[in-house]
Amino acid sequence: MSARYPAVASVSAFFPCFNDEFSIAGMVRDVRDALVDAVDEFEIIVIDDGSTDGSLAVLRALADEVSELRIVVHEANRGYGGALQSGFAAATKQWIFYTDGDAQYDAGEIVRCLDAARDDVDVVQGFKIGRGDAWYRRTIGRTYHHTVKMLFDLPVRDTDCDFRLIRASVMQRIELTSTSGVICVELMHSLAQLDARFVEVGVSHHWRPHGRSQFFRLARIARSAQQLGALWWRMRVAPLVSRR
């Protein structure tokens, strides 16, 4: 076991990727550079979620350079939640790390999560140090977080920070169903219901260097709101009703 991080023997690091051809290779290289001397064993998985740009070609070329890379291909886009479900299912190591493939987070900062991992920790949850977004996105993000924190009684300060290191044995006890970004709420609430032990670390958040966010579009926001309502009913209300 690695002397540097005695609680972490092996890591599966995965990235959901949708039209991230200009950033995904850098993310893979950065996480590999961080892990190669940090843990005894690791794998890197990229879920190409039906990209229509050159992402898949970039990944296939990168596989010749990075022997630890595995590519999971969705022929059609399954949504952010669908990509995360595939990533968790493909992971085979002791701990599972994921962050987004668009380079708004620095994959090399996985070492901050490794530093915080202990035998008495199940989830290392990131929180954004600042936020590299326009003011309206920061406003929407804060409003969203406070809303879901209240509705779902979440134990973390930044629910939509997709920079997480989770013990695989805990993830095996969870079945995720959401296909949109609402999956982050479902994941956090499910972990809390298992009494998972959390620790939080600050991570950098940058302006998106390429492309456009898929979330901040009216149709996606409306669909996510509908899914959030259904999730709240299923996870918070229905259990109370069934006890009566």
Quick check: 143 pLDDT over 80? no
**How do 95-99 and 163-167 pair as beta strands?**
antiparallel
Architecture of domain 10-243: Alpha-Beta Complex (3.90)
Sheet strand arrangement including 163-167: 69-74, 41-49, 10-17, 95-99, 163-167, 123-129, 198-204
Q: Between helices 183-193 and 79-90, what is the axis angle to 10°?
A: 50
Backbone φ, ψ for residue 79 (5° rounding): 90, 165
Q: Please say whether the beta carbons of 132 and 60 come within 8 A.
A: no
Q: Between helices 55-62 and 24-35, what is the axis angle to 10°?
A: 30
Q: Span 5-32, mean pLDDT?
A: 97
Q: Span 188-198, mean pLDDT?
A: 97
pTM: 0.89
Distance of CA 21 to the CA centre of its chain: 19
Of 22-26, 148-152, 163-167, 183-187, the least confident: 148-152
pLDDT at residue number 40: 94
Please name which of 181, 15, 198 lies closest in space to residue 113, comparing C-alpha atoms: 198
Q: Give the whole-angstrom CA distance, residue 184 versus residue 222.
A: 17
Handedness of CA 22, 23, 24, 28 (dihedral sign): positive
Q: Which residue has the tokens 């590299």?
A: 132
Backbone φ, ψ for residue 190 (5° rounding): -65, -40
Q: What is the pLDDT of residues 49-97, one digit of tens each?
A: 999 999 999 999 999 999 999 999 999 999 999 999 999 999 999 999 9
Q: What percent of the chain is modeled with pLDDT above 90?
A: 70
Q: Span 134-138, mean pLDDT?
A: 58
Q: What is the pLDDT of residues 208-227, one digit of tens each?
A: 666 555 555 656 667 778 88
Q: Give the whole-angstrom CA distance, residue 138 versus residue 36.
A: 34
The mean pLDDT value of the chain amounts to: 90
Quick check: 197 pLDDT over 70? yes
Per DSSP, 196 falls in state P
